[in-house]
Every structure is written in C-alpha cells, then in structure tokens.
Structure 1
Amino acid sequence: MDFAYDSTLVSNELRLLQPVAVNNQFLRFKTRRVKRESRTPYTAVSYTWGNEDASEVIYLDNRRFYVRPNLWSCLFYIAQAARNAAWDYLWVDAICIDQTNGAERNSQVRLMDQTYRDAVCVSVWLGLATLPEDILRHLSTQMPIKRVESDGFDWFDSIVDLSNRPYWSRVWVIQEFLIGRDVNLYCSDSQVNWTYFQDLICRETGINQFYDARHDSPLRDRRSARAALPLVMGRHMDKHPEILQPLCDLLIDHHKSECKDPRDRVFALLGLITTHERGFLSIYFPDYTLTEDHVRIITLAHLTQFPEESRMARNGENITPDSEELFLGLGVGPKSERKRLLRRARKIDYLSGNSPAQILNILTSHDQMEEYEGEDWEEQEEVYGTEPRRSLTKTWLIMFVIVITTLAVGWWIAKTNYLKAALRAVGT
C-alpha cells in the first residue's frame, strides 16, 4: 500500500523522518509531527531534485513512497550517518512537505528559512563518488547507480569535480547552504565540514580565506571551482549569520542559478532578504496559486516602488529593460517581455496597502484587458513578430471585401427590381 499523508501541517509544525532500517534492500523511516518550538534535533537535507522519474521505493510508516534515484542515494548515506550524529531525525522537503497539498506547501515554504535555521546542521548531498571510466564501461546503463562506496576517495583530489556539480547551480540551495547553523557535506559515505571544504577550495584556487566572491577576483586565473565559490565563501565566519541582503542584490548576484519553477527564483530568496523588505513581500509570497507572470509583476512593482534598499537606488540607476542581470534573475530574456512586465508593474499601486486578493483582482483584470484589447502594434510586433499586424490587415481586407460584395449585390438586386417594375409599367 502506498503512503498517504494523514492531514495538513499547520505553520508551527514540522514533519520529520526517523531512520528505522537502512540497508541495501530497504530504506524504512517513521514519520513524526513535531512543534517547531520543540527543538527536536534534526538535520535539514539540502540536495538537487534532479529530472529522473520517481522510480525508487522507500517506506514511510511501512508504506511505499516513491523517490528519485538521487534522493534514494542521499537518504541511504545520510540516514546511516545518524548513528553517530547529534541529530536523530531528517527533514527532506520532497517528503516532509506534501507536495500535492497547496495550502501545506505554501505555509511550509513560507517558513523554509526557519526550518533550516532551527536544524542542528544542514546536510548537503553532493552525490555519489565518481567511478573510474573503466568500471563505468562494464556497468549496465539500464539500472541507476544508487550506491558507490568511497574507498580511496580524496576530497582534495576531487575538489574540481565536487565544486562544479549541479548542486551549486540550484536557486533553492542558496538559502539552505547560507543560513544553517552548521553545514556538513556528503559524497557517498564520505563526510566533511564546510570549513574544511572551504579550505580546499581556497587552496585549489589560490585565494585567501577572506575572498569575497561578489567583488573580488581570484589571485590566479583558475575557473575550476567557481560554481561553488559564491556559497562556500559566503559563509565567512565574520559574516555569518548576518547575511541578509536586498532582494535586488540577490536576484542579480544569483542570476545564473536554475530552478524548475520560475516562481522559485523569488520564493527561494525570501529567507535571505532584509527584514524591512520581507515585511512587504511576505504579504504576497510565497503563493503557488499565483501565475509566473503575476509573481514577476509583483516583484517588479516592489523593486520599482519600494527602492530604499535596492542596489539600483544606491547606484542611482533605474530598472529598465536593459537591466540584464536583474531580469535574468527573474528568468526573463526578451526585452519586449521586460517592457511589458514593467508596464504592468507600473499599473499596480504596490504601497497602497491593498490586500493580496485586491492585487490579484487588479492583475486578473489587466490580464483580460491585454487579452481582449491587445497591446499597441509596436509591442505586439516586438513580442510576437509581424503576425498580429498581418493578421489584422488580413481581417480588415476580408471585411472590406464583404462590405463591397454586399453593396454590389444590393445594388444588383435593386437594379433588377427597378427594371422589372419598368417593364411591367410599359406592358400596362
């Protein structure tokens, strides 16, 4: 029988996993609901979801639950570490949040930063140790490789590979890695603390411990460990945990990060923005009932109308369609689309104190106006090419032909009737 969530979590609750049996055949966990303030010792797992199908089985409360191969491997090794750890439970977003329950998902994502802050430590899963090519050639490609023991594995020898793995490119891991009290990194069954990992990156790239990934350049032209630098070096002892930044800065600094859901480009950064900004944005976000378009419009309204702490305001710059890295941070490429979003954002009185429902009504009404009234021809051509104008011209041409034809037919009928009447008059 498949696992079913018992009921919706409320905001002050967490769902945790307690390892029961961890072996090569079965991964069994017991679920437990706890109050956030109870401080039950747990580790918050940070990992890459991946694109594979959920083909692997674990057991929650003796019922089947399907996960992706990468998560199966992650649970297998991190759950084993619980035997000698300062924590007894695991928190894993894909399991501990009912992803099919919109209300639960919204409330839990809203407190995601607290979930990672309250954890004894954050456990970062970088994946399995890389197998030598000669071994890979002899393995079947039909079954996913879920376990690779780390015999002879050396973190320094593998630092180039580890610091450029997909984990470092995901937008959600930014806050997960930065705000945890402590961070341990795993590769197969090998584990190191973040301070040691940072030291390895400094040695490999030739930079000093106080390197600022946002502003400094490495001492040597080495690109091998760049992907991990912004996060690993962002945990300077003299900075952490005072790492809150304006949303504009975060969108720009992490514009290359990736996510499956474009709305997460904003939602995943909420735990890192300044308290002042979050007080405004938390009225609207996170809310997965909002469309991608609406999330971007509200965000731009915030950045343009509430700019006190914005990088743009500090540098005396306005947000324009040419604000390249900012719009890439929002996942928007074409300048025509940027113009449209900025135009829509200007129509929202963001600081008016409107409720989320009122803002949504305004956005929806504007959607309808765009759909039925259309935009001006110049914007249409930029967004869609010349088709709208051609289509409109064709429509007018058809209407013109119909009108002329109707008039011609009417004239012919009138003329025919006139001639018939004249003939009848002559006959009489």
Structure 2
Amino acid sequence: MLKSYKWTRRTASIIFLLYLSNPVVAGDNYEVNGFVTQGYFYTDNNNFYGDSQNGSFDFRELGINGAWNLKDDLLLSGQAVSRLAGGVDDGDPVIDYLLLDYRFFEDQNGSAGISFGRNKNPFGLYNKTRDVSFTRPSIVLPQSLYFDKARNLELSSDGIRLYGRKFFDSGVWDSELVAGIPRKDKNIEFAYLNRDWDGEFSSSKGYLFRTEYRPHDYSWVAGLNYGNFYFDFDGPDSPAPGAPGDGDVDIGILAFSLQYNLQHWSFTSEYMRQSISWGSLGGLYALQPKNVSESYYVQAERRINDQLSLFIRRDILYIDKNDRDGKRAEALSGRPAHSQYAFDWTLGVGWRPAKNWLVRAEWHRIEGTGWLAVQDNPVASDTEEDWDMLSLQATYRF
C-alpha cells in the first residue's frame, strides 16, 4: 500500500511539472523553460542507476525552470526537478535552486551583486548546469569530481551568494562565493560513510569560492575552487562496535579547472583534492581520523558539425591518495580494495537531430568501483573490479 502511494504521488508530481512547463511561456520580463531526459544503462558487472546488469531505464530527469526580471537589477529565478536515478534518487520533485538576485553595481568596467535563497554552488566547469544535457559534455559527467552519488551536496546551498565581474582589455575575471547551509540527505552518509548508519546528520554549514579567468573569445578558461563543508552527526547513545557516535565530518575542497577551445576542438582537464576529517565520530573512523582523496580527468571533444560531436575522456579517482591500491582500507574496513579507486576510459557521441533534441551514446571501460553508489550495490563483496558500461540517453527541451 505504501509503495503504491509513493508511486501515485510521484506520478502526480511529474504530471504537475509537465502541466506547468507546457507550453513554454516567455515575455518581455520573464521566461519559463523545461527539459525531459530518459536514459538507459547496461553493465556487464556491478550496477549503475538501478539493476543495470539486466539493463536499466531507471534514469529520468524532468525539470522546469524560470526567470523573472522584477527590475533591471533584480532577478527572481528557480528550478524544480524530478529525478529518478536508481537507488540514489526516487523521482520526487525537489527545488534545485530558487533565489532572488540583486545586482547592486554595474558599469563599463564590471559588475557585482548578491543573491539570497537556494544558490547553485560554483564548482568546476559543469556543476551549475549539470542537470541539463545540452550544457554538459556527456551523459555521465566525470564521476571523480562530479559525484552523482552526492549530487545534492555539490549542486546547491541555502544561503547567500556574492559575485563580481571585472573586464580587462585581454579578458574577463569572474569570482563568486556561496555561503550557508549545504543540502544534506541520506546519500551523504552512503557517499562519505559508506552506509546508512544509525543516526543522522543534524546540521550543516559551509562555503565554496570560485574564481575564473577567460579571454573575450573564450579560447581558454582557467578556474580555481576552494571551500569547506561541515556536518554534525547525531549518533546513537550506544553505537555498535565500529559504528559512529556523535561527532562531525569536515570536508575541505581544492580544485583547478582548465579548458582550451578551438573552432572544432575543446580540451578540458580538472583536478580536485578533498580532505575529510571524521575522527570525532569514533568507531572505524577513529582508526584513520583524516583522509585525503585525489581525482582528475582529461577530456578531448571534437565538434564534427552543428549536429554531431565526439569525445574521449580518462577519469581517475583515488579515495585515499596515500592508499592508492586500497589495501590498507581493505584491512581496516573489510571492503574490497578496488572500492578505493576508479579508472575510467570513456568514448562518446552526441547527435542533435533538431534544435530541441539531443541523443547521446557512451561506452565506459572501468577498473575499480570507487564512485559506485552503495544504494545500487549494497553488498560490496559482490562487486567486480573490472566492468564495462553502455549508456544511451535522449533529451527534449521545451
């Protein structure tokens, strides 16, 4: 009965979003748009977005977004998304962002402003538009940096955003800072603590800063991220052996981005280092109170014409940069060594048969399971180190 109720509620919510977004409306001061994405995933080992070893259609995104210029310097914008993603997201609509933006300064040399509400986190080259297939380079973003298993944490925060832009003869310098309350859910426990322990994250705070420079012709882009997320964990009064008690998780982020663009080519690379302090939780986490992960990718994209593009990418993740083969983590936790890293070769093609349609296909050859979601792979010992994945996706925007 409960399952039936959840399905009915989810279906009704999706129908409501479709009703709001069809037809697209636009005026002098406002605009409403939306998108629908359906994906298919097949893996020979392990699961990604549902039971992909038997072929999974459990990836679906439906979004509606709008913007309203209340005044020349005042903007209201937001986006609601229904996202089904295997065991990670159940399809219930959520607010991705909803903010009031006030641009308090603007002249020929630059601009500055502040926004209040649920702001997109300024992380990397793709985070702000990661939900819209037309604005990301692939079906699956590089999972070493853009963790789908902790998507909401990376995506947006409730608080304030300060931003500024400075024009130079040679280019443009953008900087922004988001500070407030990062979004938290059970997925953060799975992503950072490897399971849903007794207890929960009760409060959070954090900030993320990004600065970026590019010439006026966008021939290259260079960016830097620095930030920190802090979570309080309320554990049980008497934790089970090895389980966490009351404590906190402190996540520090340092990332670099670089992209070089030619007429038909784009070359992109990003690097991130995450430091995680969790020793105050006790249990297994006291055995290694701090962990530093390292991840990066390099990618080349070739635009054949306005409709067809190809890309190749190498994506690397080490959960612990000082335990690259995972042997120490295996001895401490009992989880397979290959759960501590992931090396991914990806080949992909994108085709735009019409202005509002995008069709993609990708093949992944992966060694390691470092970015697999526990929700889709609950028994770590059942996972395989080497696996292949085929992914297909169609998107319509309106």
- Structure with the largest fraction of strand: 2
Q: TM-score, normalised by structure 1?
A: 0.25
- Structure with the largest fraction of helix: 1
Indicate the structure (1 or 2) with the bigger Cα radius of gyration. 1
Highest RCO, 1 vs 2 (Cα 8 Å, sep ≥ 6)? 2
